[in-house]
Amino acid sequence: MVVVLAFLMAFLAWPGVQMRLQAQPVAPPQAATIVAEIIGEFPYVYAQPDFDSPVLATLKTGTYYRVSKQQFDLGFHRIRFAKDKEGFISSSEIKITTGQAAKKKSGEARAEVKKEVKKKTTKPIYVSRYQGIIFEQQNYIEDTMSNTRSDNILFFGYRLVGFNTLFSGEMSTDLAILYHSGAPAYYEKITGQSASGQIINVQFTFDTIIPLAHDFMASYGFGPMVKYSHFQVSLKNPGGVGNDSYVLDDMNFGVLFRLGAATRLGIFGLRADVKYYIESKQYVGVNLSTLYEF
């Protein structure tokens, strides 16, 4: 009787044992990974296959790790960089090799490592920072002299774009300070007298980055702006003797939407954008920037 009960209890417990065995975690097969050497200048391990995700670690150049054969979004590989810690590293920061190559200690292997480290490996354009010169053409519009008037005006100025510029952290911004010397042509056309002045436009946007390739990207943004204008105009004196001079000062706050694309040649970047301004009036601008990576 005892033997029968023992057999019955073992039979009933067997499915539970099977379930516990099946619930154990299974290590990924060795064939799914490959040895890679860390060679890049920015060997960051990210929490997700995305340059905007948090950085978990910075690896040492010349070391070897196992990475996934599979590539994820933006060319990332999964990597185990510490015990029970995994993340993602860009393919531009690693060199796929073999297990035998990873174990080599010969002078030839060390020379190869130095050669690869010496080779410049740039960050993707969409995580780089730039500053430089911007030229922008605006269809400038304002209410003045009892009517709505417009003129195509060329601005130039300074531009600062990228992560960790205006704000530290995982946020990309675009700052532009634009300047125009002179007054819109409609003042001289209406008054028959020359006019002078200046316009200053300060703006920045919070950007959303759209990676397209290692050296090419698109982006769009939204943000505030402030515009200050100072014009000096003249009108003929009603008495017919001389001219009367007037100073026209104006300051407006508004917002803008920006859509653009960027590429680069080495450390130099080129950006082109279309902007839609909303302040006292609505108008459009297009620009081209020549920038320097820093």
Residues 65 and 194 in one domain: no
Query: Does residue 3 belong to any structural domain of this protein?
Result: no
Question: Which whole number is the average pLDDT over 169-192?
Answer: 92
- CATH number, domain of 78, equals 2.30.30.40
Per-residue pLDDT tens over the stretch 109-145: 445 444 444 444 467 898 889 999 999 999 999 988 8
Query: Does residue 1 belong to any structural domain of this protein?
Result: no
End position of a domain, from candidates 83, 98, 118: 118
Residues 142 and 283 in one domain: yes
pLDDT interval class at 71 (50, 70, 90): confident
Residues 149 and 211 in one domain: yes
End position of a domain, from candidates 94, 118, 142: 118
Residue 11, SS3 per DSSP: helix
What CA–CA distance (Å, rounded) separates 190 from 208? 43
Burial 151-174 (b: 16+ CB within 10 A, else e): eebebebebbbbbebeeeeeebbb
Residues 264 and 134 in one domain: yes
Residues 190 and 53 in one domain: no
Per-residue pLDDT tens over the stretch 72-111: 877 899 999 988 899 999 988 999 886 544 444 434 444 5
User: Strand 172-181 vs strand 196-213: parallel, antiparallel, or unpaired?
Assistant: antiparallel
Predicted TM-score (pTM) of this structure = 0.61
What pLDDT does 245 receive? Answer: 87
In this prediction, what percent of the chain has a pLDDT beyond 70?
80
Residues 158 and 276 in one domain: yes
Q: Any residues with CB less than 8 A from the CB of 133 and at least 6 apart, and which? A: 156, 157, 158, 159, 289, 290, 291
What pLDDT does 45 receive? Answer: 92
Owning domain of residue 157 = 125-293
Which range among 68-77, 180-189, 190-199 shows the weakest confidence by mean pLDDT?
68-77
6: pLDDT strictly greater than 50: no
Nearest CA to 176 out of 60, 245, 256 is that of: 256
What's the mean pLDDT when you consider all of the chain? 82
Q: Which two tokens stand for residue 226?
A: 């402030």
Residues 100 and 173 in one domain: no
Per-residue pLDDT tens over the stretch 21-36: 333 333 344 458 889 9
DSSP one-letter code for 129: -
C-alpha distances (whole Å) from 83 to each of 65, 67, 90 are: 12, 14, 20
